[in-house]
A and B are shown apart, each in its own frame.
Chain A
Amino acid sequence: DTAVSQTPKYLVTQMGNDKSIKCEQNLGHDTMYWYKQDSKKFLKIMFSYNNKELIINETVPNRFSPKSPDKAHLNLHINSLELGDSAVYFCASSQGQRGRDFFGQGTRLTVV
């Protein structure tokens, strides 16, 4: 069983489009995250959610809107996609605010 699963794995889309990435974890964790990894492998946190509530928004543009319908799911919707949004997006979960993160396989987003 996959602990943290995100879909799709690859996403190619044109500038200006709106797209969503879905994430689910079956670990029973209460905290979920979205990270962005750029072409130089730099990994930066975007959002943290705890018990479905937004805890951290790391100055991410408003075009990015996370949604957590329940503790096991954290989806990411992106409006008006830009070339600079091209990256690998990782969903992760942890138990509490200091637990180690369990990562999904990543979604490679390419905006053309």
Chain B
Amino acid sequence: GESVGLHLPTLSVQEGDNSIINCAYSNSASDYFIWYKQESGKGPQFIIDIRSNMDKRQGQRVTVLLNKTVKHLSLQIAATQPGDSAVYFCAENTGGFKTIFGAGTRLFVKA
């Protein structure tokens, strides 16, 4: 069935270190992937996306990697800051007006 899942529900990193959040998806037909950040009391906020014809995309301090062979997605955050503390969701889209979200990973940044 469709599912997007995360390997680590909680990740704790030291301020200044790099963070890597992983995600596995099972729908081979998914062709668009998005990472969202959700801070406490707020709605999810777009971070970065990638289409299936790419395997890497970089933003400001963030990089998304896509490995279609093993259906794996990751979000890398460089020089993690306290403001990065949040719950991170990967999501997949196959078109059809439906986005499927993964379970979420909570990122704690220690000062």
Q: Which residues of A contact B (CB under 8 A)?
A: 4, 31, 33, 40-45, 48, 50, 55-56, 58, 90, 92, 97-98, 100-106
Contact = CB atoms under 8 A, between A and B. Distances in A.
B32 A98 contact: yes
Given A43-B89, A90-B44, A48 B101 contact: no
Interface string B31-54: 010101010011111100100000
A97 B104 contact: no
Interface of B: 32, 34, 36, 38, 41-46, 49, 87, 89, 93, 95-101, 103-104, 106
Given A98-B93, A100-B34, A100-B49, A45 B43 contact: no
A100 B98 contact: no
A50 B96 CA distance: 10
B68 to A, nearest CB: 17
Nearest to B104: A41
A50 B103 CA distance: 26
A48 B104 contact: no
A4 B104 CA distance: 22
Contacts of B96: 55-56, 97
Tell me if B's interface is mostly helix, strand, loop or mixed: strand
B42 A101 contact: no
B95 A101 contact: no
A101 B46 contact: yes
Given A41-B87, A42-B104, A98-B93, A56 B45 contact: no
B98 A103 contact: no
B97 A90 contact: no
A31 to B, nearest CB: 6
Given A45-B98, A98-B93, A103 B44 contact: yes
Given A41-B104, A43-B104, A90-B43, A101 B99 contact: yes
Contacts of B43: 4, 90, 92, 103-106
B42 A105 contact: yes
A97 B103 contact: no
A11 to B, nearest CB: 15
B37 to A, nearest CB: 11
